[in-house]
Amino acid sequence: MGYQDYINLSVEDELIERKEVSVVSEYDKQNDFSLESSGRRYDRQFFTMYQARLNELKTRVDSRAMKQWGNGTIKRDNKVISKVDKILNITSNQLCWVSGTIFVDLKNKLNIFNDVEKGIDDVLPQIPKSYISSEGTDDKVIMLEDESGRAILHGDDKLKDQLFVTGAIVAVLGIELQAGIFEMIEIIHPEIAPIRPMNPKSNSKIAFVSGLEISDSVNYDFKIDLLKEFFQNNPKSKDISHLVIAGNSIKETDQDIGEEYVSNNNYGSKNISKFNDKSLKLFEVFINEIISNCNISIMPGPSDPTDICLPQQPLHRSFFVNNKNYVGNNIRSLTNPSWLEIDSIRMLGTSGQNIDDIVKYLSPEDLQNKDILLKIMKSTINWQNIAPTAPDTLYCYPFENNDPFTLTNETPKVYFIGNQNEFKSELVNVNNENMLLLTIPKFNQCGQLVLLDTVDLSVEIIKFET
């Protein structure tokens, strides 16, 4: 068959109506990551945030560990397992378990003291691509700490599958053979908060896209036009009831990038905008084209014009120019991370910073795993904290006595991460409930749109190629 046989095969035009989905205007955890528009304090220490995380998760990890290891009631290798309340109270050659916060020391982690020493503490430092030095992983030191002190964790090969990042709360079974070094035998994570069952009322699809990186006319990606056209008049898109844009919608302009810092003109009148007005205008045009036929939820990402720190606050409605009056109804400008509830499906998503930062803790061997992104996502669910490395290596607002990244009383039904290099999805069983993990690829690289079925949580992708 020649291509002529396929020319204009579509049915004669008729009014195609998009499927609608119930998106409640107000839902639980809607504002979990919202910050007050005024009165934000950046002069606080992060201690209370860690403390809040520890308080929330320690009880849950302790109760789980108590069931499994007990306190003087269970034997392992003819040794009685005992519980130790504080790390400082660990005694040598005693099989015991203790809970606390993981701290991972790596050579390439940013260090304010080094910046002060070099006199570059007043500029935005360049974040390294990996916290592991190029020499290898020998410089990696994993520690467990609580308010009493720290112990260096040392594990055997069985624990190689475990991911260790700063900020995760775990319980560790082991024995102190040398002073200050705790040999790990097993690890237990906190009890996982329940997942709310979903009850979808419509059979539709939710679309996810991230990394559009709309730039000025010269660098504009034509695939974005194909995406717009797909939404506007491709009959295959009629089942899409909602579009979620998971960050990096707008591309930053090229910056003066130094080796150790982003720019030396970050403050005061010398601060230069990272965005040009043309890309903002084209972003507004894109939004206009999409909302003409589909409702959207939009989250900011690392390249978008909003906060650097997590949680990033919603894009200001002024960016939507002529469509700003629809912000709140047809356009939902969300935080990053953000909870969503579409057709009773509880979703939690980020624009990718939390996962990207954890990737920097991993060794090259770990990164060879094709499913490493899903593994990291599972780990964050196991840790019950979606951004454990904040505030250690991930910029984060200094919350006071609160850690919004901790899953306190609910685990999402769908957990998605934007701006990844490839699409991945996995349906995992958590507390006898199915939970979907989803990575949304960068559109400007992959040209992919992810569709999620609201009934069976099946996933498919639409590729746009040029």
Site for another protein, residues 233 to 252, rule: CB under 8 A = 233-238
Nearer to another protein, 237 or 411 (CB): 237
Nearer to another protein, 74 or 123 (CB): 123
Parallel/antiparallel/unpaired status of strands 345-350 and 414-420: parallel
Contact 209, 227 (CB under 8 A): yes
* Contact flag: residue 295 with another protein (CB under 8 A): yes
The answer for residues whose C-beta is within 8 angstroms of residue 211's C-beta and 6 or more apart is 247, 248, 301, 418, 419, 440, 441, 442, 443, 444, 445
User: Which residue in the set 66, 120, 159, 226 belongs to the binding site for another protein (CB under 8 A)?
Assistant: 226
CA dihedral 97, 99, 101, 107 (to 10 degrees): 0
Q: Looking at 22-30, 164-172, 198-206, 428-436, which segment touches another protein (CB under 8 A)?
A: 22-30
CB of 291 to another protein, least distance (A): 7
* Contact flag: residue 277 with another protein (CB under 8 A): no
CB of 236 to another protein, least distance (A): 6
The answer for residues whose C-beta is within 8 angstroms of residue 43's C-beta and 6 or more apart is none
- Per-residue binder mask for another protein (CB under 8 A), 29-58, x = binder: xxxx-xxxxxxxxxx---------------
Parallel/antiparallel/unpaired status of strands 433-441 and 424-430: antiparallel
Parallel/antiparallel/unpaired status of strands 205-209 and 150-155: unpaired
Q: Which two tokens stand for residue 23?
A: 């998106």
User: Which residue in the set 84, 126, 183, 220 belongs to the binding site for another protein (CB under 8 A)?
Assistant: 220
CB of 398 to another protein, least distance (A): 9
- Per-residue binder mask for another protein (CB under 8 A), 384-423, x = binder: ---------------xxxx-x-------------------
Nearer to another protein, 12 or 259 (CB): 12
* Contact flag: residue 463 with another protein (CB under 8 A): yes
Q: Which of 190, 166, 242, 186 is nearest to 411 (CA)?
A: 190
Nearer to another protein, 23 or 74 (CB): 23
Parallel/antiparallel/unpaired status of strands 433-441 and 181-188: unpaired
User: What does the DSSP 8-state code read for residue 210?
Assistant: B
CB of 293 to another protein, least distance (A): 4
* Contact flag: residue 271 with another protein (CB under 8 A): no
Interacting residues with another protein between 55 and 94 (CB under 8 A): none
Q: Residue 223: which H helix or E strand, with range?
A: helix 222-233
Nearer to another protein, 330 or 434 (CB): 330
* Contact flag: residue 225 with another protein (CB under 8 A): yes
Q: Looking at 69-77, 229-237, 251-259, 386-394, which segment touches another protein (CB under 8 A)?
A: 229-237
Nearer to another protein, 12 or 157 (CB): 12
- Cα distance between the two ends of the chain: 23
User: Which residue in the set 289, 366, 410, 433 belongs to the binding site for another protein (CB under 8 A)?
Assistant: 289
User: Which residue in the set 168, 244, 309, 327 belongs to the binding site for another protein (CB under 8 A)?
Assistant: 327
* Contact flag: residue 222 with another protein (CB under 8 A): yes
Q: Which of 110, 173, 120, 164 is nearest to 142 (CA)?
A: 164
CB of 150 to another protein, least distance (A): 27
CB of 325 to another protein, least distance (A): 4
Sheet of strand 331-333: strand arrangement: 331-333, 295-299, 240-246, 205-209, 448-453
* Contact flag: residue 323 with another protein (CB under 8 A): yes
Interacting residues with another protein between 330 and 359 (CB under 8 A): 330
* Contact flag: residue 112 with another protein (CB under 8 A): no
Q: Which of 293, 312, 205, 309 is nearest to 249 (CA)?
A: 312
Q: Residue 55: which H helix or E strand, with range?
A: helix 47-69
User: What does the DSSP 8-state code read for residue 124?
Assistant: P
Nearer to another protein, 71 or 402 (CB): 402
* Contact flag: residue 444 with another protein (CB under 8 A): no
Phi/psi for 372 (5° steps) reads -60, -35
Burial 165-188 (b: 16+ CB within 10 A, else e): bbbbbbbbbbbbeeeeebbbbbbb
CB of 238 to another protein, least distance (A): 6
User: Which residue in the set 20, 85, 371, 422 belongs to the binding site for another protein (CB under 8 A)?
Assistant: 20
CB of 322 to another protein, least distance (A): 8
Nearer to another protein, 183 or 289 (CB): 289
Q: Which of 118, 124, 116, 396 is nearest to 267 (CA)?
A: 124
